[in-house]
Chain A
Amino acid sequence: MEGERRASQAPSSGLPAGGADGESPGGGAPFPGSSGSSAVLQAEVLDLDEDEDDLEVFSKDASLMDMNSFSPMMPTSPLSMINQIKFEDESDLKDLFITVDEPESHVTTIETFITYRIITKTSRGEFDSSEFEVRRRYQDFLWLKGKLEEAHPTLIIPPLPEKFIVKGMVERFNDDFIETRRKALHKFLNRIADHPTLTFNEDFKIFLTAQAWELSSHKKQGPGLLSRMGQTVRAVASSMRGVKNRPEEFMEMNNFIELFSQKINLIDKISQRIYKEEREYFDEMKEYGPIHILWSASEEDLVDTLKDVASCIDRCCKATEKRMSGLSEALLPVVHEYVLYSEMLMGVMKRRDQIQAELDSKVEALTYKKADTDLLPEEIGKLEDKVECANNALKADWERWKQNMQNDIKLAFTDMAEENIHYYEQCLATWESFLTSQTNLHLEEASEDKP
C-alpha cells in the first residue's frame, strides 16, 4: 500500500522526492534529496510492481512538465482512484501542520502593518527541523501566491483573503477584520499543505521556514520585473487572439465555472444578509425581555409569570446569539472562500487558454509560413507537450477541487442546519419548561399534549 501511495503522489523531479511522507520511519531519515531523476527513487522505493505503468511518465522532458508531474497520474485505474481518495480523507497521513495566529501590529515610520505568527510542525525529511516559527505579513502571502501561480499556472491555487474591504471599514485594522483575515490565511496555508503537488513547492517551504532576512533575499531572486512584464505582455497578446480550439471538456468546465461563480456570489450575498437580519433580530430581542420585568413591578399577581417570560425571552436571545456566531464561523467564511475560488478558477482557465494560444499561434505560423519555419516543428512539439501537461494538470486538480468544494459546501450548510436545529430545540425547551411550571403552579389539567 505504501508504495502505491507514493507513486500516486509522485512529485516532480525538481522537488524533493515525494517519498517524504509520514510513513518513513523516524521522520528525519535522509532521502536522496533533490535527485535528478525521481525515476531512480521510485525504483528504490517501490516494493510492488503493480504500478510499473506509472513509471513511464518520468521519461518525459522535465522542463516541459512545468514542475507538475502529478498530471500524468490521471486516476485511470481504480486502484489509484482509491489511493487518491484515501490520501485526501485520512488525515493521519498528514505530515505538515500549520497554524496562523497571534496577529501583531508593527509600526514603522513609513507604515503600519500586521504580522501573523506561523507555526509549522512537520515530520518530513527535507525540512531541517521538525518545528518552525516565523512571522509573516500579508505581502509575504501575496508573494507566495504569485510564486505558486508562476510555477503551476494550471493548478487551482487556494485564494487569499482580500487586500481590504472597502465597504464598511472604519479603520483599516479593526479586530474583526484581522481575525477574519487570520482565519482565511490559516485556511490558505493548510489548503496548500493538503494539495498533493503544491505541498512540495520549494517557495512554500521557504515561506514556512525562512527567517525574515532570508525570505527577503530569496524574494529578490527570480525573474526580474522587466522579464515578468514581458511575459505578461505576451500573455495578454496571446489571449487577445482568443482561443479557437478549446477542447470540449474545458468548455464544460468554463461553463460550470461561470455558473458556479454566479451562484456562489448570490449565496454569499444571501448569507451575509441573513447574518445581518439575525443580528438586528437579536438587537431587538434584547430589549424585549426587560420590558416584562419592568411590567412585573406594577403587577402583584403576575410578577412570577412576567419574570419567567422575561427569562425565557432572554434565554432565546442567547440562543440566537449562538446561532449567529455559528453562522459567521461555519458558513460565511466557507462561502466567501469559494467566491474567491471562483475568481481564481477563471484565472486558471485563462492561463490554460494562454498556453494553448501559444501553441496555436506557432501552429498557425507554421501553416502559413509566417516566420522562420526551421525551428518551428521542434518548438511546436515542446508546446504540444506543454499543453498536454497543463490540461492534464488542470483536469486532475479540477476533479479534486470539485470534490472538496462539494464536501465543504455540504458541510457548511449541514452545520448551519444543525445550528438552527439546536437553536429551535433550545427555545422549545425553554418555553416548554415555562409552560409546565405555569400549569404545575395552578394544578390545572396537565394534559399538555404535544403534537
Chain B
Amino acid sequence: MEQAPPDPERQLQPAPLEPLGSPDAGLGAAVGKEAEGAGEESSGVDTMTHNNFWLKKIEISVSEAEKRTGRNAMNMQETYTAYLIETRSVEHTDGQSVLTDSLWRRYSEFELLRSYLLVYYPHIVVPPLPEKRAEFVWHKLSADNMDPDFVERRRIGLENFLLRIASHPILCRDKIFYLFLTQEGNWKETVNETGFQLKADSRLKALNATFRVKNPDKRFTDLKHYSDELQSVISHLLRVRARVADRLYGVYKVHGNYGRVFSEWSAIEKEMGDGLQSAGHHMDVYASSIDDILEDEEHYADQLKEYLFYAEALRAVCRKHELMQYDLEMAAQDLASKKQQCEELVTGTVRTFSLKGMTTKLFGQETPEQREARIKVLEEQINEGEQQLKSKNLEGREFVKNAWADIERFKEQKNRDLKEALISYAVMQISMCKKSLTLSPRLECNGMISAHYNLRLPCSSNSTSSSRVAGITGVCHHA
C-alpha cells in the first residue's frame, strides 16, 4: 500500500484543512469551510484496497463548528461547541461526491465513541482525540476552550480522528461508528445499550495485573517502555517549543516598536525623513509577520500532540495484554493448585503445613465418602479449569497476534507521519526565512541609497528627494 507523500506545498497553505499527517490511505479529502485543496477530494479513491472499502464509498469531513447553548445533565445553562460532520459518497468513475449525511456532534459524543471503541477493540491502537483542554500554551495563545483559534484546531483534530478510524482496516467496519456518522438522534442511547461500560476492565484490576504479572510478552514490555519514552520526550519538546515560540514572538513584536518612533522622527528630519518612514513601515510589516508564522507552527505542534496521545493508546493495549496474561497465569495457578489438592486427596498424602493437614489435626480425618465427593468436585473443576485455560491461552495468543499486527501497522504510520511532520517543520522554517528576507533587503536599500545621496549633496533636499523616492520604490536586486 503506497502512500503518496503529501505535496510540501500543501503543507504551506495556512488553511488548516488537511488531515494531520497522512492517514493510511492517503486520504486528503478534507472539504472544509474554505474549500481549498479541493483537488485532493478524489485521491482517496485510487489507493483503496479491500481493507479500506469504506473509503471507496465515503468521504468524511468535520466542516464547521458552532457555538451553542443548552441545558446539561444538571439542568444548568451551558455553552458548548457543536461540530458538523458531513459524509459524502464518492461515485467511482467520475469522482463526484454526493452529500449523504450531515449531523452535528459535540466533543463529549466523540469521547463516548472512543470509549466504546476502546472496550470493544482492546487489541487495536485506537486513534486519540484532540486535547480536551489547551496545553503547552504559550503567552499569546488562549487556554480558553471557546477561543476561536482553539475551536478551529479542535475541528481539524476531530476530523483527523474520524479519518483515522475510517482508514483503519478493522475499526472502519464498526456499526456504532457508522451510526455515529449517520444517526443523529438516539445514537447515545444506542451506544449505551451495548452495555460497553460494564464490559470495561476496571482500572484497579488492570493496575493490579501490571504489578503482578510474571511473564508478559517481552515485546509488550518493550512497547510500554517505548510509549513512556515517547510521551516524555514529546511533552518536553512541546514545552520547549512553546517557550521558543513565545520568545520569537517577543523578538518580532519589539521590532515593531521601531515603526512608530521612526515615523515620528521622520517628521523632523529633512534629509533622512523618507528613509526613516519606509524603515518604520518595514519594521511594522516585519513585526506583524510573526502571527501567521506561529499559527502554522501550532499545526505542527498539534501533529506532535497526536502522537503524544497515541502513546497512551499504546499503553492501553499493553495493559490489556498484561491483564489477559495475568488472568491466564492466575487460571493456570489455580488449576495447578486444584490438581495438587486432588492428587493429595487421591493419594492420601497430606502435607504437614497445608490447610488439609491442619484441619485433619484439628477435626480428624474425614470419611471416605466425603473424600470421594470432594475428589469428584475437584475433578470437575479441574476439567473446567483446563478448558478455560485452553481457551484463555487461545484468546491470549489471538490477542497478541492481532495486537501485534496492529502495532506494526501503527509503527509504520507513526514513522511516516512523524517524518512528514518534521519535514513540514523544515518547510515552515524556510517559509519564515523567505518571508523575513523579502522584507529586509528593502530596508538595506533605503539606508544605503539615502546615505549615498547625503554624502554627495549635503543640502538642497529638493533635488535629492525625487531621486530618493525613485530609489525607494525601485526594486533592489541584491544577490
Interface residues of A (CB under 8 A from B): 81, 85, 89, 255-256, 259-260, 263, 266-267, 270, 273-274, 277-278, 280-281, 284-285, 287-288, 291-292, 294-295, 297-299, 301-302, 305-306, 309, 312, 316, 399, 403, 406-407, 409-411, 413-414, 417-418, 420-421, 424-425, 427-428, 431-432, 434-435, 438, 442, 444, 448-451
Chain B nearest CB: distance from A85 CB in Å?
6
Contacts of A266 in B (CB 8 A): 257, 261
- Supply 26 A–B pairs (Cβ within 8 Å), ascending by A: A259-B264, A260-B265, A266-B261, A280-B250, A281-B247, A281-B248, A284-B240, A287-B240, A288-B237, A299-B415, A305-B419, A316-B429, A406-B269, A413-B279, A421-B437, A424-B433, A424-B437, A424-B440, A425-B437, A427-B433, A428-B434, A431-B427, A435-B423, A438-B419, A442-B5, A448-B8
**When the two chains form the complex, which single residue of A306, A414, A442 contacts B444, counting CB atoms closer than 8 Å?**
A414
Q: Nearest chain B CB to A192's CB is how many angstroms away? A: 22
- Give min CB distance, B40 to chain A, whole Å: 16
B372 at the interface (CB under 8 A from A): no
The 4 closest A-B pairs by CB, nearest first: A281-B247, A414-B447, A428-B433, A277-B250
Interchain CA distance A132-B441 in the complex, whole Å: 44
Residues of the A chain whose Cβ atoms lie less than 8 Å from the Cβ of B257: 266, 270, 273
Is there an interface contact between B265 and A449, defined as CB atoms closer than 8 Å?
Answer: no
Alpha-carbon distance between A414 and B5 when the two chains are bound, in angstroms: 42
Docked-complex contact B9 and A444, CB < 8 angstroms: no
Instruction: Contact check, A421 vs B447: say whether CB atoms are below 8 A apart.
Output: no
Q: Of residues 418 to 439 in B, which have CB atoms within 8 Å of A's CB atoms?
A: 418-419, 422-423, 425-427, 429-430, 433-434, 436-437
- Which of B423, B426, B434, B451 has a CB less than 8 Å from the CB of A410? B451
Q: A81-B458, A281-B247 are in contact. Are A270 and B230 (CB under 8 A)?
A: no
Q: Which residues of the other chain, B, contact A403 by a CB distance below 8 angstroms? A: 454, 458
Residues on A with beta carbons closer than 8 Å to the beta carbon of B325 = none
Looking at chain B's contact residues, the main secondary structure is: helix
Contact B251 A410 (CB under 8 A): no
Contact for B268 among A256, A291, A312, A428, CB less than 8 A: A256
Q: CB-defined interface of B432-471 with A at 8 Å, one 1/0 digit per residue?
A: 0110110011011001101100110010000000000000
Q: For B441, what are the chain A residues with a Cβ–Cβ distance below 8 Å?
A: 421
B430 and A432 contacting across the interface, CB-CB below 8 Å: yes
B258 at the interface (CB under 8 A from A): yes
Q: Is the CB of B258 within 8 A of A267?
A: yes
Given contacts A260-B268, A410-B451, A411-B451, contact A431 B244 (CB under 8 A): no
CA gap between A403 and B270 in the complex, in Å: 12
Which B residues are CB-close (under 8 A) to A270?
Answer: 254, 257-258, 261
B241 to chain A: closest residue by CB: A288
**Which of these, B8, B264, B275, B418, contacts A302 with CB under 8 Å?**
B418
**Contact among B264, B429, B440 for A427, CB-based, below 8 A:** B429
A260 to B261, CA, bound (A): 10
Interface: B281 (CB within 8 A): no
On whether the beta carbons of A431 and B426 are closer than 8 Å, the reply is yes
A309 with B425: CB separation less than 8 A? yes
Chain A residue with Cβ nearest B233: A295
Q: How far is the CA of A435 from the CA of B230 in the complex (A)?
A: 24
B443: A residues at CB distance < 8 A: 413-414, 417
* 8 Å CB interface, B223-280 against A: 226, 229-230, 233-234, 236-237, 240-241, 243-244, 246-248, 250-251, 254-255, 257-258, 261, 264-265, 268-269, 271-272, 275, 279
Q: Which of B275, B426, B434, B455 contacts A435 (CB 8 A)?
A: B426
Q: A281-B250, A284-B243, A403-B458 are in contact. Are A298 and B229 (CB under 8 A)?
A: yes
Q: Mark B129-173, 1 if CB is under 8 A from A, else 0.
A: 000000000000000000000000000000000000000000000
Residues of A within 8 A of B451 (CB): 406-407, 410-411, 414
- Taking Cβ atoms with an 8 Å cutoff, the residues of B that contact A are 5, 8-9, 226, 229-230, 233-234, 236-237, 240-241, 243-244, 246-248, 250-251, 254-255, 257-258, 261, 264-265, 268-269, 271-272, 275, 279, 415, 418-419, 422-423, 425-427, 429-430, 433-434, 436-437, 440-441, 443-444, 447-448, 450-451, 454-455, 458
Within the complex, what minimum Cβ distance (angstroms) separates A117 from chain B?
A: 34
CB–CB A431/B429 < 8 A: yes
B376 to chain A, nearest CB (A): 56
Bound CA–CA A302/B240 (angstroms)? 20
- A309 and B422 contact, Cβ closer than 8 Å, known pairs A277-B247, A291-B237, A291-B240: yes
* Pairwise interchain contact A267-B426, C-beta atoms closer than 8 A: no
Question: Which residue of A256, A274, A450 contacts B255 across the interface (Cβ within 8 Å)?
Answer: A274
B197 CB to closest chain A CB, in angstroms? 35
**Contact with B240, one of A288, A299, A438 (Cβ below 8 angstroms):** A288
Q: Do B454 and A406 touch (CB < 8 A)? A: yes
Contacts of A411 in B (CB 8 A): 447, 451
The docked-state distance in angstroms from the alpha carbon of A444 to that of B7 is: 10
Does A274 lie within 8 Å of B254, measured CB to CB? yes
Cross-interface CB contact of B251 among A278, A305, A425, A434, cutoff 8 Å: A278
Q: Which residues of B contact A407 (CB under 8 A)?
A: 451, 454-455
Cβ-closest chain A residue relative to B250 = A277
Q: Which residue in chain B gives the minimum CB-CB distance to A414?
A: B447
Inter-chain contact B236/A273, CB cutoff 8 Å: no
- C-alpha gap A410/B443 in the complex (Å): 10
Q: In the complex the two chains form, what is the Cα distance from A186 to B371 in whole Å?
A: 109
Q: How far is the CB of A302 from chain B (nearest CB, A)?
A: 6
B436/A424 in contact, CB under 8 A: yes
Q: Are A85 and B458 in contact (CB under 8 A)?
A: yes
Docked pose: A413 CA to B248 CA in angstroms: 21
Q: How far is the CB of A265 from chain B (nearest CB, A)?
A: 10
A sample of 17 more A-B contacts (CB under 8 A), given A284-B244, A298-B233, A450-B430, is A259-B265, A260-B265, A263-B261, A266-B261, A277-B247, A284-B247, A291-B233, A305-B422, A312-B426, A411-B447, A413-B279, A414-B448, A420-B436, A424-B433, A425-B433, A435-B426, A438-B419
**Which B residues are in CB contact (< 8 Å) with A420?**
436, 440
The answer for the CA separation of A301 and B422 in the assembled complex, in Å, is 13
A279 — nearest CB in chain B belongs to which residue?
B247
Choose among B237, B248, B423, B437 the residue that contacts A438 (Cβ–Cβ < 8 A).
Answer: B423
Taking the closest CB of chain A, its distance from the CB of B45, in whole angstroms, is 20
Residue of B nearest to A430 (CB): B429
What are the residues of chain B within 8 A of A414 when measuring CB–CB?
A: 443-444, 447-448, 451
Closest-CB distance, B282 to chain A (whole angstroms): 9
Chain A residues whose C-beta falls within 8 Å of the C-beta of B236 in the assembled complex: 291, 294
In the complex, chain B residues whose CB is within 8 Å of the CB of A409: 272
Give the complex CA separation of A5 and B55 in angstroms.
Answer: 88
Give every chain B residue within 8 A of A432 (Cβ-Cβ): 430
Q: Are B241 and A434 in contact (CB under 8 A)?
A: no
B243 CB to closest chain A CB, in angstroms? Answer: 5
**Which one of A259, A309, A417, A435 contacts B440 once the chains associate, using CB atoms below 8 Å?**
A417
Q: Are A431 and B418 neighbours in the complex by a CB distance under 8 Å?
A: no
Residue numbers in B under 8 Å from A260 (CB-CB): 265, 268
Would you give the shortest CB distance from B347 to chain A, in whole angstroms? 54
Q: Please indicate the chain B residues that have their CB under 8 angstroms from the CB of A287 in the complex.
A: 240
Flag if A281 contacts B244 (CB, 8 Å): yes
A278 to B253, CA, bound (A): 11
CA of A181 to CA of B226 in the docked complex: distance in angstroms? 55
Contact A431 B433 (CB under 8 A): yes
Q: A443: shortest Cβ distance to chain B, in Å?
A: 11
Given contacts A294-B233, A295-B233, A425-B437, contact A89 B265 (CB under 8 A): no
Cα A72 to Cα B37 with chains together (Å): 74
The CA of A12 and the CA of B313, in the complex, are separated in Å by: 89
* Interfacial chain A residues near B275, Cβ < 8 Å: 410
CB distance from B249 to the nearest CB of A (A): 9
Q: Give CA–CA (A387, B135) in the complex, Å.
A: 70
Chain B residues contacting A421 (CB-CB under 8 Å) are 437, 440-441, 444
- Most B C-beta atoms less than 10 A away, residue of A278, A299, A427: A299
Residues of B within 8 A of A399 (CB): 458
A294 CB to nearest chain B CB (Å): 6
